[in-house]
Amino acid sequence: MSSRKPIRINAFNMNCVGHIHHGLWSHPRDRSGDYRSLAYWTELAQLLERGLFDALFLADILGAYDVFEGSIRLTAEEAVQLPVNDPFMPVSAMAAVTRHLGFGLTANLSHEPPYLLTRRLSTLDHLTEGRIGWNVVTGYLDSAARAMGQEGLARHDERYDRAEDYLALTYRLWEGSWEDDAVPRDRERRVFSDPTRIHPVAHEGPFYRCNGYHLCEPSPQRSPVIYQAGSSRRGRQFAARHAEAVFISGQDRVAAARFVAELRRDAAHVGRDPADIKVFPGISVVVDGTRRLAEAKYRDYARYASPEAGLAHFSSSLGVDLSRFALDEPIDVGHGNAIQSAATSANGSGMTRRKLLESLQLGSRYPVLVGNAADIADALESWIDEADVDGFNLTRIVTPESYADFIEFVVPELQRRGRYRTSYEEGTLRHKLFGRGDRLPIYHPAAASRR
């Protein structure tokens, strides 16, 4: 491996048909409609492990995109993250047919009790032998809050205040309830677990209370790898304290470099090593043996994409019904209560529906790299070297073709340049990412909960 920073790749996916690039479910080679099949997931996991990917990152939402036109008409017709199944369910099967691939799982803490979520994640960390990460999200859909019996979504910064309390409790359960030697499994003494080394957690926080024992013995990583995807100022502050991997989207290299520098500075300010946070921009790749073939493939994909469906998705990201604006009317989305970073990027940019639709040629506003293997490798290297990011969340355009093409064309080129692993390291997901063992470091906030 080169002394330069290696490039890490996660497959960005979701347990649904339409994830990021909307309308591509209609492409004749796309298999996303098979998402209900276990074989779909096990074959995908095996493909990604052959490509030496770091992890399969599974996004998730609760609720439905019902902001555009005030309905789910377009959302349902184009399968815009609806229907959507639970991201946790396929993981055990995928882990059984792989040995190294990690799994980043999204769980919305606004609607998931911490006592139950800690058990689910510990269980999967055991079953995968330490390959689990948790993408901590606070939610951004009013429809989810209403579905959970609430009047509406809590305010943006309050959601992060709740997240701070939530993580404080989960750390106490994962890190402090069971001591390392609490499970001797001593048949002769008939002591499977030592009750003197298992401790109840008494937590009285501003949002959450708990008085009980964590139900699982310590898993390989105890706390899963902490992923986070908020790019607002409050989200960045939260990431600086807690996150080990941060996902960013919809930014160019200059904006990404500025965000990464601020994030690493904030991490150092709270006593963490800035290198303890890996940053992954979302990116899309259309690659083939020649640039001409790749460009033809892009045009073929674009024939099946739905810019309007992408607009429906973006409406819910903003919390603003974009259908009410005329084609060339300037769009002012205000400050909103959904994804603040999306609103910030939209305001002041001279955005109109026409410009948005032009930017949604593949049904998404994600950056798309098109070219041969050398073109793609050049672009990825420039992101790594200029923006100080650590890798990429590779979206699917046509599945599994997008991942298979990347593995066939780009991975060998990156390996030739010394920027991509040629085999997996042994160990847990955390150890593979940082090379310093299975557990969170002592200067992470979770360490304060240890005995």
Query: DSSP string of 238-305?
Result: HHHHH-SEEEE-S--HHHHHHHHHHHHHHHHHTT--GGG-EEEEEEEEEE-SSHHHHHHHHHHHHHH-
* pLDDT at residue 293, rounded to an integer: 98
Confidence label for 109 from pLDDT (cuts 50, 70 and 90): very high
Give the mean model confidence (pLDDT) for residues 316-326: 90
376-429 confidence digits (pLDDT tens): 999 999 999 999 999 999 999 999 999 999 999 999 999 999 999 999 999 999
| Rounded distance between C-alpha atoms, residue 182 and residue 197, angstroms | 5
Ranges 92-96, 148-152, 271-275, 439-443: which has the least confidence: 148-152
Give the mean model confidence (pLDDT) for residues 102-129: 96
Its sign, for the CA torsion 341, 207, 67, 319, is negative
Query: What are 150's two structure tokens?
Result: 């609430």
With a cut of 90, say whether residue 446 has pLDDT above it.
yes
Give the mean model confidence (pLDDT) for residues 37-62: 98
- The CATH number given to whatever domain includes residue 240 is 3.20.20.30
* pLDDT at residue 319, rounded to an integer: 87
141-151 confidence digits (pLDDT tens): 889 889 889 88
Whether residue 198 lies inside any domain: the answer is yes
Query: What are 351's two structure tokens?
Result: 């955005």
- On the question of a cis peptide bond just before residue 400, with omega within 30 degrees of 0, the verdict is yes
Whether residue 423 lies inside any domain: the answer is yes
Q: Which of 402, 282, 400 is nearest to 46 (CA)?
A: 400
Please name the residues in contact with 207: beta carbons below 8 A apart, sequence gap of 6 or more: 161, 162, 165, 166
Q: How many domains, in total, are found in the chain?
A: 1
| Rounded distance between C-alpha atoms, residue 438 and residue 425, angstroms | 13
With a cut of 80, say whether residue 201 has pLDDT above it.
yes
Whether residue 52 lies inside any domain: the answer is yes
With a cut of 70, say whether residue 18 has pLDDT above it.
yes
50 membership: H or E segment, kind and range: helix 38-50
* pLDDT at residue 343, rounded to an integer: 47
340-373 confidence digits (pLDDT tens): 455 455 545 678 899 999 989 999 988 999 999 9
Q: Is 196 buried (19+), middle (13-18) or exposed (0-12) by CB count in 10 A? A: exposed
With a cut of 80, say whether residue 112 has pLDDT above it.
yes
Whether residue 45 lies inside any domain: the answer is yes
Whether residue 329 lies inside any domain: the answer is no
218-239 confidence digits (pLDDT tens): 999 999 999 998 778 888 999 9
Confidence label for 153 from pLDDT (cuts 50, 70 and 90): confident
Give the mean model confidence (pLDDT) for residues 160-164: 94
Ranges 86-95, 132-141, 171-180, 201-210: which has the least confidence: 132-141
- On the question of a cis peptide bond just before residue 83, with omega within 30 degrees of 0, the verdict is yes
Q: Are strands 209-212 and 201-204 parallel, antiparallel or unpaired?
A: antiparallel
What does the mean pLDDT of the chain come to? 93
With a cut of 60, say whether residue 179 has pLDDT above it.
yes
* pLDDT at residue 151, rounded to an integer: 83
Whether residue 107 lies inside any domain: the answer is yes
Show the domain range for 421: 8-306+368-449
Higher pLDDT, 332 or 84: 84
Whether residue 264 lies inside any domain: the answer is yes
* pLDDT at residue 443, rounded to an integer: 92
With a cut of 70, say whether residue 287 has pLDDT above it.
yes
Angle at 392 between CA 432 and CA 106, to 5 degrees: 75
249-261 confidence digits (pLDDT tens): 867 889 999 999 9
With a cut of 60, say whether residue 432 has pLDDT above it.
yes
Query: What are 403's two structure tokens?
Result: 């991942």
Whether residue 332 lies inside any domain: the answer is no
Query: What are 104's two structure tokens?
Result: 């980043």
| Rounded distance between C-alpha atoms, residue 275 and residue 283, angstroms | 22
62-75 confidence digits (pLDDT tens): 999 999 999 999 99
pTM of the model: 0.94
* pLDDT at residue 3, rounded to an integer: 60
